[in-house]
Structure 1
Amino acid sequence: MRVGAAKAVAVDWARERMRHDPAVRGAFFSGSTVALPDQAVLAASSDVDVLLVRDEPGGKLGKFRHRGVLLEVTELTWADLGSADDVLGSWVYAPMFRTDTVIADPTGRLAAIRDRVAAGFTDPGWVRRRCAGVRRRVEDGLRRLDDTAPLHTQVTAWLFPTSLTALLPVVAARRDPTVRRRYVLARQVLAGHGLSDRYRELLGWLDGGGVSPARVREHLAGLGRTFDEAARVARTPFAFGADITPAARPVVVDGGAELVAAGAHREAMFWIVATYARCHTILAADAPAREVALRPEFEAAVADLGVASAADRRRRADEVLAALPGWWEVSRALGGWDVAG
């Protein structure tokens, strides 16, 4: 299916939802389809992300199929979005409004945000602000590692801030950040600016040098087994719960396989280990005995990143924190702002 046709299905669903739920005050697209042309083919491992805006908090509706399209629908509030300038300075939300992603906007507030973001998105000052937000998330996360937490919690707390380093050049270059393909995007951005040699450091913070494609495929197979088990037993609500369901398997597991098939096996390890940790979070809550039984495969994947122990993770985190000032200068060059700091 073409992206345009898939988004048309999402538009129909969102407008129907708003007719039945007047508390929904607006809707817009997010995610990878924002940057894709309508004529592009929507990959089987991709969904269409829709955000619904409410006055009061709602909940994540999750991933589900509607007329043959896998939708992921999340609800947020106007307070979550903030003002137009808040959105423009956010590395999370600004890319969603750089083009016309608005589906429905009876109040006109989304259009005002869109117009402000479209006008200022490429301005170096705002690029700097968005990069500063990424840097803060890296620093705050890596400085708060808890060596006493369960393994899946420790790995998540180390892995995501570490991976955000890949988004520094992506955000600085005014590209749309993504989750699963963030390292691939960073490689493309750095190569496009003659900085391919710097990518080795970024990727090394993730995996310490990497493992073979065959070994990554083994980890992916193990993840598939753990994913299916976690999706089967999941009961406790988690923020990421929509990603660990049978409907999400093509995006989560098959999406990782696509990275490996494309030669990005080292990059795929971020997504594999992140998903492993999420699955074990669910299993620990809803099937503790199965969590223990399946843990060795998760531990093996973590070990292949070179961070089997809490001391290993803290050492790698310290390396990242020490190198961040240099990467800030890389970001400054890509983003074009004049004042260092």
Structure 2
Amino acid sequence: MRVGTARAAAVRWVAAHARPAPGYRGAYFSGSTVGRPDDAELPPSSDVDVVVVTEEDEPPAKPGKLRYDGALLEITYVPWAELRDPGAVLSSYHLAGSFRTDTVIDDPTGGLRALYAAVAPRFAQRSQVRRRCLDARRRVVDRLAAFDASAPFHEQVPAWMFPAGVTTHVLLVAALRNPTVRLRYRAARDVLTAYGQPDLYRKLLALLGCADVSERVVRHHVGELTRTFDATVPVARTPFFFSSDLTGQARPIAVDGSLELIDRGEHREAVFWIVATLARCHAVLAVDAPALHRARLPAFEAAVAELTGITCTADLLDRRSAVLGFLPLLDAATEAVLAANPDITG
């Protein structure tokens, strides 16, 4: 499917399902398709991110991934209160990128186009880019500080891994690139290569624990992921913020997307999402199917051990310290990208 075809389906979904809802203020595109031409091919392992803006301070649970007119959409809600201040949006690394270009789908109040008009001209200003880099860096520090060593192991792993992975986002923000979620390591590799710092990429992989992992080992654990994922989908009942990532609709991304990376020789780049998805499956299974959780737990523990080198809480605490110790190197690399990026102004 072409990106333009998928976008058109998203526009129709907004008109049919979002616009009639009370408190609706508009919708816009976000994520990896922003800035891509309409005639670009959208892989089966990619979706179109749509953000629906609402007046409600506590928006409804996001519908997440859904299939509409043949397109795979990812629907998220955001309260208008988070977008009201253009300065705050400019300094937010996960919000600003959507208003670098005109991504507005529908804007009945005119607020989104006014926001775009305020953000776009200042998006690439050095001071604003640096503020967004610091926003991402703070997320690394704050979320690692919140790590709970008393939580179950399947909760500890993502509580360390997701903030550790935000180190890649700091670099992507400095390069004015989309801080993608699933493909963050591949995107960071491309940035570091483009800016003459390929050795730092190996350090990022070492923090994750997969710098020397083999394709054979990664492929084996994708097989285990497939079994766990397919066992989780039919028993999932309790809502989690990531529930839409654990459905049949999401399988092309959650499972097939990792296989695609391995087949392309990017097995190390697949590790992050393999482990993240396994951990999310076990978060669901622990609540909705405890016996299945226990039965599949050895496969999860083996995957974490062989893909990241982590076997226990003490390892996670050591790795947390390693990520924090890496930040001065990350700061220097970020400043080098900021200095060399020809698209940054002022």
TM-score w.r.t. length of structure 1: 0.96
| Alpha-carbon contact 1:3-1:41 (below 8 Å) kept | yes
Q: Does 1:101 align with 2:114?
A: no
Deviation at 1:208, TM superposition (A): 4.9
Alignment identity in percent? 51
Whole-Å Cα distance in 2 between the matches of residues 35 and 290 of structure 1? 43
**Partner residue in 2 for 1:69:** 71
**Partner residue in 1 for 2:317:** 314
Deviation at 1:7, TM superposition (A): 0.3
Whole-Å Cα distance in 2 between the matches of residues 119 and 182 of structure 1? 26
**Partner residue in 1 for 2:52:** 52
Whole-Å Cα distance in 2 between the matches of residues 67 and 208 of structure 1? 39
Deviation at 1:58, TM superposition (A): 1.9
- 1:213 is aligned, of 202, 212, 215, to 215
SS in 2 for 1:238: coil
Whole-Å Cα distance in 1 between the matches of residues 241 and 268 of structure 2? 26
Whole-Å Cα distance in 1 between the matches of residues 108 and 332 of structure 2? 43
Once the two structures are superposed, residues 17-72 of structure 1 have per-residue CA deviations (whole angstroms, 9 ceiling, x without a partner) of 24432421100011211132111111011111111111012220121111111111
Whole-Å Cα distance in 2 between the matches of residues 336 and 14 of structure 1? 40
Whole-Å Cα distance in 1 between the matches of residues 210 and 261 of structure 2? 19
**Partner residue in 2 for 1:333:** 336
Once the two structures are superposed, residues 261-313 of structure 1 have per-residue CA deviations (whole angstroms, 9 ceiling, x without a partner) of 12111111100000000000000010011000001111011101111111111
**Partner residue in 2 for 1:324:** 327
**Partner residue in 2 for 1:234:** 236
Once the two structures are superposed, residues 232-252 of structure 1 have per-residue CA deviations (whole angstroms, 9 ceiling, x without a partner) of 111111001111111111111
**Partner residue in 2 for 1:131:** 133
SS in 2 for 1:242: helix
| Alpha-carbon contact 2:25-2:80 (below 8 Å) kept | no
| Alpha-carbon contact 1:18-1:25 (below 8 Å) kept | no
Q: Does 1:32 align with 2:35?
A: no
Deviation at 1:210, TM superposition (A): 3.0
Name the aligned partner's letter for residue 290 of structure 2: P
| Alpha-carbon contact 2:175-2:191 (below 8 Å) kept | yes
SS in 2 for 1:134: helix
**Partner residue in 2 for 1:23:** 23
SS in 1 for 2:177: coil
**Partner residue in 2 for 1:5:** 5
Q: Give the CA RMSD over aligned residues.
A: 1.3
Deviation at 1:145, TM superposition (A): 2.1
Q: Does 1:246 align with 2:248?
A: yes
| Alpha-carbon contact 1:207-1:266 (below 8 Å) kept | no
Name the aligned partner's letter for residue 321 of structure 2: D
- 1:225 is aligned, of 201, 224, 227, to 227
| Alpha-carbon contact 2:25-2:107 (below 8 Å) kept | yes
Whole-Å Cα distance in 2 between the matches of residues 94 and 19 of structure 1? 23
Deviation at 1:332, TM superposition (A): 1.5
Name the aligned partner's letter for residue 85 of structure 2: S
Name the aligned partner's letter for residue 104 of structure 1: D
Name the aligned partner's letter for residue 50 of structure 1: V
| Alpha-carbon contact 1:174-1:335 (below 8 Å) kept | no
TM-score w.r.t. length of structure 2: 0.94
**Partner residue in 1 for 2:344:** none
SS in 2 for 1:168: helix
**Number of residue pairs the alignment of both structures matches:** 337
Deviation at 1:184, TM superposition (A): 0.4
Whole-Å Cα distance in 1 between the matches of residues 260 and 18 of structure 2? 35
Deviation at 1:169, TM superposition (A): 1.2
Alignment of structure 1 residues 176-187 onto 2, 5 Å = 176-187=178-189
**Partner residue in 1 for 2:343:** none
Structure 1 residue runs of 5 or longer lacking an equivalent are: none
Q: Does 1:272 align with 2:274?
A: yes
| Alpha-carbon contact 1:51-1:75 (below 8 Å) kept | yes
Name the aligned partner's letter for residue 11 of structure 1: V
Once the two structures are superposed, residues 178-218 of structure 1 have per-residue CA deviations (whole angstroms, 9 ceiling, x without a partner) of 01110001000010011111111011101153311011011
Name the aligned partner's letter for residue 282 of structure 2: H
SS in 2 for 1:44: coil
Whole-Å Cα distance in 2 between the matches of residues 265 and 116 of structure 1? 41
Whole-Å Cα distance in 2 between the matches of residues 70 and 322 of structure 1? 39
324-333 vs 94-103, which deviates more?
324-333
Whole-Å Cα distance in 2 between the matches of residues 250 and 318 of structure 1? 35
| Alpha-carbon contact 2:3-2:37 (below 8 Å) kept | yes
SS in 1 for 2:75: strand
Name the aligned partner's letter for residue 195 of structure 2: H
Name the aligned partner's letter for residue 326 of structure 2: A
Name the aligned partner's letter for residue 72 of structure 1: E
Whole-Å Cα distance in 1 between the matches of residues 40 and 54 of structure 2? 31
204-213 vs 50-59, which deviates more?
204-213
**Partner residue in 2 for 1:173:** 175
Deviation at 1:80, TM superposition (A): 3.1
Whole-Å Cα distance in 1 between the matches of residues 82 and 153 of structure 2? 31
